[in-house]
Amino acid sequence: MKKVQAVIKRFWILLPLIAAALMFFLLPLMPEVTEYVFSRGLFKIVTVPLGFITSIFPFSFTELLVILALPIVVLIIVLLIRKVKSFEDKSDKKKTLIKAGRRLCGFLSFACLMYMICHGANYYRLPLEKTMELDTSPKDAEFLLEVCKKLAIGAMEASETLGQNEDGSTVLPESHANELKRTGNGYEKLIKDYPFLWTSVGKQKIVLLSEPWSYTHITGMYFPFFAECNVNTAQPDYLIPATAAHESAHSRGVAFENECNFLAFLSCINSDYPEFRYSGYMLAYTFCSNALFVYDPEMCREADSLLNDRMRADFNANNKYIYDHSSHGTGTVVDQVIETVNEVSESANDAFIKVQGVEDGVLSYDRVTELILAYYAKQ
């Protein structure tokens, strides 16, 4: 018994890691348990109060952590080296290093468990098509064309009162900060039918370093350790509401990117604010028209014929935004740095998604088309 107690005392810091590993390997086998015990239970218990607290503050804790992480790590290493050097006895130096190593292991162990509770487990809950009763069986191209036309018309109607830049692209009626506060409006209506979408995370955070962040080609990020939604506001205005709604879906317990895109679309088109409805329709049209083009370019051109000048200007603005933040093969040092950032960011994001069991990685974003078609089929 004493030996068991000694082992537990020595290795208790690994217990959170063991619990996280058990969740990682067992929860995929129990989607209903994951859905009701973890995603609708433990996840809400932990992230709702955490998100409520972080939402009170106007700045992004995630961005602050990114800025301070390296200096803090360097400072800790320097202090540790100084402390070790202050001891003359080798045994004291060894004890100090072992103690520091145990603390690091304990921190990483606890972080793994928190990640699984605050986000990772949600990859193994029931699929959205089941909880929302959507038929995602294959639809024919004619139906896809019909949906594309409906999306284009919806976008045109929603854009009638919105302002424009000199190039014809959309300008949001309010400041970015005020617009992000409107993100939950559309979700409030969805919660009546789908209460599992409820959350207390009421504020989406502006990333002050949005311009340099754009070189990663990431327009939004949910950071589970703070239950915080971060939005890149350097992207064209018409995309910002849908991006905020996408990140909000993560804070509501949805992990898969295609499902978050679908909820972003659904919440936006149910919003009282026209800029959100326009953003939602434009997001959905982008994915659906791309799928239609792969099947039949001529049918896609038929759908594109419904686009007005504003919509074309917005698509052009997004193409320019992507081009301006991509490498162009010039061979210059700056271009090589940009290319490296692009590749590392996409590879890391792809690898992260695949680790969760999503075989197609970043390509899973495109599977939102199936959900959008299922939604319109259900209507």
Q: What is the pLDDT of residues 289-320, one digit of tens each?
A: 999 998 889 999 999 999 999 999 999 999 99
**Boundary-marking domain end, from 69, 96, 124:** 124
Q: Which residue has the tokens 């009546």?
A: 192
Write down the pLDDT at residue 312: 97
On whether both 239 and 287 belong to a single domain, the answer is yes
Angle between helices 368-378 and 141-158 (to 10 degrees): 90
Q: Residues 199-237: pLDDT tens digits? A: 876 689 999 999 999 998 999 999 999 999 999 999 999
**Boundary-marking domain end, from 100, 124, 148:** 124
Per-chain mean pLDDT for the chain: 88
On whether both 152 and 119 belong to a single domain, the answer is no
Strand partners, 164: 170
3-state secondary structure of 170: strand
Q: Read off the pTM.
A: 0.89
Q: Which residue has the tokens 């990682």?
A: 24
How far are the Cα atoms of 106, 166, 241, 279 from residue 162, in angstroms, in the given order?
52, 13, 13, 11
Write down the pLDDT at residue 352: 45
On whether both 137 and 272 belong to a single domain, the answer is yes
Q: Residues 96-129: pLDDT tens digits? A: 888 888 889 999 999 999 999 999 999 999 999 9
- C-alpha distance across the termini of the chain, in Å: 64
On whether both 37 and 110 belong to a single domain, the answer is yes
Question: Whole-angstrom Cα distance, residue 140 to residue 338?
Answer: 40
Residue 143 Cα to chain centre, angstroms: 29
Query: Which one-letter DSSP state was computed for residue 215?
Result: G
Residue 362's pLDDT band (cuts 50, 70, 90):
very low
3-state secondary structure of 342: helix
Token code pair at residue 228: 């915080």
Query: Which one-letter DSSP state was computed for residue 216?
Result: G
Question: Whole-angstrom Cα distance, residue 333 to residue 82?
Answer: 37
On whether both 120 and 132 belong to a single domain, the answer is no
On whether both 168 and 287 belong to a single domain, the answer is yes
Write down the pLDDT at residue 200: 72
On whether both 328 and 361 belong to a single domain, the answer is yes
On whether both 296 and 161 belong to a single domain, the answer is yes
b/e 181-200 (16+ beta carbons within 10 angstroms → b)? ebbbbbbeebeeebebbebb
CA pseudo-torsion sign 115, 360, 220, 126: negative
Q: Are 233 and 204 in contact (CB under 8 A)?
A: no
Task: Give the residue numbers spanning the domain of 6.
Answer: 2-124
Instruction: Give the count of domains, the chain.
Output: 2
CA atoms within 13 A on the CB side of 336: 3
Closest CA to 374 of 132, 83, 76, 122: 132
Overall average pLDDT of the 240-251 stretch: 97
On whether both 42 and 191 belong to a single domain, the answer is no
Return the higher-pLDDT residue of 11 and 324.
Answer: 324
